[in-house]
Amino acid sequence: QDPKYLAENLLSEDGIQPWLGCPKEHSRQLSVELQLERASPIGYVDVGNYGCAFLQIEVGCSSWPCYQPYLTLVSTVTLITPANSKLDHDHCRVQMFKESKD
């Protein structure tokens, strides 16, 4: 991770604090695992994006056995199209994911 923009920033209550990968890291994939103090319902997730192409959000419970896979909260979504990425266009935006009322 970037030494200035740590993963802990994702839970900051002091306003918007970004989390960025290390500029020297070229794996093209970032992941973060957050553990909340107690089980909490998740009504929505706001994602501020800066150049990320795809996003997937998975959730789990610390009391689950280690072999139990996470559940998908948000299936893989495209945040920036390949065309916009090549043009360096529309790479900075915010998107909200919320519970479907189906």
Tally Cβ neighbours within 10 Å of residue 90.
13
Instruction: Give the per-residue pLDDT at 101.
Output: 58
For each successive 10 residues of the chain (102 residues), what is the average pLDDT?
83 76 74 82 80 84 92 87 79 77 55
**Predicted pLDDT of residue 41:** 83
* Contact by Cβ (8 Å): 79, 95: yes
Contact 87, 57 (CB under 8 A): no
Strand 92-98 relative to strand 44-50, pairing: antiparallel
| Domains in the chain: boundaries | 1-34, 40-101
Distance of CA 70 to the CA centre of its chain: 15
Instruction: Give the C-alpha separation, 102 to 97, whole Å.
Output: 14
**Any idea what DSSP says for residue 10?**
G
CA torsion angle 26 27 29 32 (round to 10): -90
- Give the span between the Cα atoms of 60 and 71, in whole angstroms: 6
Q: Which CATH architecture has domain 40-101?
A: Sandwich (2.60)
